[in-house]
Amino acid sequence: MAEQATNGGTNGVDVNTLGSRGVDEEGKNNTAVDYEPYEHRKNNLHATSNTETLLHLIKGSVGAGLLAMPLAFKHAGLLTATLGTIIISFLASYCMHQLLRIQHHICKRQGVPQIEYADAMKIAVRNGPHCFKWLTKPSPYIVDFFVSAYQLGICCAYVGFISGTVKQMAEFYWDIHLDIRIWMLIVGVVISPLNQIRNLHYLSPLSAAGDFLLIGGLVIIYYFIFQDGMPSFEGKAWVSDRPFTGFALFFGTMMYSVQTIGVIVALENDMKTPADYRKPMGVFNVGMVIISLGYLFTGFFGYLKWGNLTEATVTWNLPNDNPLTECIKVMFAVLILLTYPLQCYVPIEILWQNYIRAHVRKASPGMQNFYSTLLRAVILWGTVILSITVPFLDLLISIVGGFCLPTVGITFPAIMEICIFHNEGKLSSLRLGKNIFLMIFGVFSCVVSTFVCLLEIYDKAK
């Protein structure tokens, strides 16, 4: 188990996590103002470099979501989706910066090198306005639930993508016709060994390999898009004829794609030089610019090329009788396969560190390793079963992004900032208004996007 990636638990504030100079009973700061958390982190042997972190960030954020962007543009229309991609990418990046900034601020106040999102949320609301204090006890569990649900949703989508790709190729090239659910079971068997990799450092070679596959795959996708010149705008919608439903589906896909919150937080915690993560030209901003441009161009030109024939993933639109098609489908299937362990790493860490480890602490090292192996296997096959239950890749992507991320990626950081600055007497009207807007937007978009996706799943399943 890669235990170095996280510290402490969410079922209360662990002294070992927060340090010996935590908060007193009233939640007041006992720490010197010049304490710098980054300087006190004890880098483990497997801490990642800036380059390794950038590779993890790009590959952890680029996958099935990128390939689903042409369909997202089809749902919303070219103009709406272009503006939406820019705005949502900026909003998601800002909220991630906000969360990381608040976590660092709380670490500084508590005199600890690092802290989990769930623990930071608990401390923030405990010391905030009275209207938020009721969240003190349940907030760690809520955060853990949404973060884990999102990461597991990504894993489900990955199983669906790989299975759909293999099914399409097997039917065309080998005349093998199996139900998609059978392919999902086979994919689960293939992923099982990879999911037993225990820390991010050992995943770095997979990230490097995955990035090369990503670059090669995108080159081939763009070759097919532009092989006959610039795709025609004729017959392409600039605004959806179902603006409400279309934008809700687009929003879910976009949030799924850009706001891989669990990976973003875990990567910062696992860096050798975490201070470089949030700099203006740091790892996070550079990575998000690259990622956002990839989403924009792939979505825009992919929909421009295939229009109303756009599939749930752009690779399914490529002609089956071309050798390059076989190559790209294999490349992206392998890319997603290599990314699965990175996405599954986060919920495994949350469950092990916060809910399981304390119960097996007295067991022998061999038994602890057995329990860790069993946990990874249970989570893997859980995602396979969920994929079998909802075998609609496009809608699965939309509902995962629309349900989980507006809450844990937009609403909660806004609540935390209100609480922190209220406690310090620095809550200006501008900061309060900004965060109230983010809270309302997060809750509203979560409810609307989830409702629309559920209706679409119901209609498609009939």
Q: Where is mean pLDDT largest: 52-61, 132-141, 254-263, 323-332?
A: 132-141
Q: Bridge-partner residues for 48, per DSSP?
A: 271
Residue 146 reports pLDDT greater than 80: yes
Residue-range domains of the chain with CATH: 46-461 (1.20.1740.10)
Give the pLDDT confidence score for residue 10 in this predicted structure: 33
Residue 376 reports pLDDT greater than 90: yes
pLDDT level of residue 115 (50, 70, 90 thresholds): confident
Give the pLDDT confidence score for residue 199 in this predicted structure: 67
Other beta carbons less than 10 A from residue 172's beta carbon: 14
Give the pLDDT confidence score for residue 4 in this predicted structure: 32
The whole-chain average pLDDT of the chain stands at 83
pLDDT level of residue 44 (50, 70, 90 thresholds): low
Residue 170 reports pLDDT greater than 50: yes
Question: Whole-model pTM?
Answer: 0.80
Task: Return d(Cα 85, Cα 63) in angstroms, integer.
Answer: 16
% of the chain with per-residue pLDDT over 90: 36
Residue 53 reports pLDDT greater than 90: no
List of residues 6+ apart from 245 with CB closer than 8 A: 75, 452, 456
List of residues 6+ apart from 163 with CB closer than 8 A: 180, 183, 184, 186, 187, 387
Give the pLDDT confidence score for residue 60 in this predicted structure: 65
pLDDT level of residue 32 (50, 70, 90 thresholds): very low
pLDDT level of residue 128 (50, 70, 90 thresholds): confident
Largest CA distance in the chain: 69
pLDDT level of residue 48 (50, 70, 90 thresholds): confident
Residue 152 reports pLDDT greater than 60: yes
Give the pLDDT confidence score for residue 125 in this predicted structure: 93
Task: Return d(Cα 133, Cα 455) in angstroms, integer.
Answer: 35
Q: Which of 155-159, 178-182, 278-282, 445-449 has the lowest mean pLDDT?
A: 278-282
Q: Which of 49-63, 169-183, 379-393, 436-450 has the lowest mean pLDDT?
A: 49-63
Give the pLDDT confidence score for residue 394 in this predicted structure: 82
pLDDT level of residue 22 (50, 70, 90 thresholds): very low
% of the chain with per-residue pLDDT over 70: 87
